Amino acid sequence: MSGVYAASLLVSAACLVLLDLRFALVFRRSPLLGGAVLVIGVVFFIAWDAVGIGLGVFRHLDSRWATGILLAPEFPVEELLFLGFLCYLTLILLSGWQRWREREDNR
């Protein structure tokens, strides 16, 4: 069952890409800005994780659902996938909410 969590994150991210493409929420609207914000968000949370790992707050526990691949001590590859997913989901939700508010204001 190794890799189930990573695969589920990738499938979920693919669904976000389909939403983004269909409704032009992030990357179809402004690809450079969307990419920059996504990278800044992921880098911020990697730094957040690094501080937490350094303080002993975050620990990696083995799971039969994870790949077991560590990018750094206590930092599994699934964490990087999750951070990218989390930031992309947030961008899509904020963009969708903004578009909805603009449409409501125009009525």
Compute how many other C-beta atoms are within 10 angstroms of the C-beta atom of residue 66. 20
In tens, the pLDDT along 50-70 reads: 999 999 998 888 888 889 899
Q: What's the pLDDT at 29?
A: 92
Domain range annotation of the chain: 4-106
Q: What's the pLDDT at 60?
A: 84
Q: What's the pLDDT at 1?
A: 62
Tokens 């001590």 belong to which residue? Answer: 73
Q: What is the pTM of this model?
A: 0.91
Q: How far apart are CA 29 and CA 45, in angstroms?
A: 24
Residue 2 pLDDT class (50, 70, 90 cuts): confident
The gap from C-alpha 81 to its chain's centroid, in whole angstroms, comes to: 6
Mean pLDDT of 73-87: 96
Mean pLDDT of 70-88: 95
In tens, the pLDDT along 16-28 reads: 999 999 999 999 9
